[in-house]
Amino acid sequence: MTQTDALPALSLDATLAELVEEFDLLGDWEGRIEYVIDLGKALPPLPEEARIEANKVPGCAAQVWLSTRRANGRLFFDADSDSALSKGNIALLLKLYSGRRPDEILAFDARAALDRLGLPAALTRQRANGLNNMVGRIREAAAQA
């Protein structure tokens, strides 16, 4: 059992509200981006066997891998990137989505959530597209579950 196997303590909406509060406390974008990068640094290492082409998220500025596991009707995600910011972005998404039921993931408006955090506006267009592709891959896994 890895660190990402833990069930979320809060609902998706409550987790988002907590993140919004944390982002608000950080104030400027420099602090927020640093926080996102720190989230990435805290991700457990992705096993080498998960660093396969099928787990790569297309359309990202950096290489991003996202693997999915199913257990007890929930989806658990493991991820990594060769870029600190992309790794932070995927870590933020895992904080929201890992350990959730597929129906919870599909019912959650990720675009509105990311806009509430103001994250897409702080990223380059290519990185914002990559973030959307990461969300798309998570939603795709939920739809297939």
Identified catalytic residue from 39, 60, 96, 123:
60
CB contact set of 63 (below 8 Å; sequence gap of 6+): 56, 81, 82, 83, 86
Determine the average pLDDT of the residues in 55-64.
92
At 133 the pLDDT is 95
- Domain boundaries defined on the chain: 3-144
> For the segment 65-81, what is each residue's pLDDT rounded down to a tens digit?
999 999 999 999 999 99
Provide the whole-model pTM. Answer: 0.91
Q: How far apart are CA 120 and CA 93, in angstroms?
A: 13
Percentage above 90 pLDDT, the chain: 71
Q: Is 145 exposed, middle or buried (0-12, 13-18, 19+ CB in 10 A)?
A: middle
Query: What topology does CATH give the domain 3-144?
Result: Sufe protein. Chain: A (3.90.1010)
Please say if 60 is a catalytic residue: yes
> For the segment 33-46, what is each residue's pLDDT rounded down to a tens digit?
999 999 999 999 99
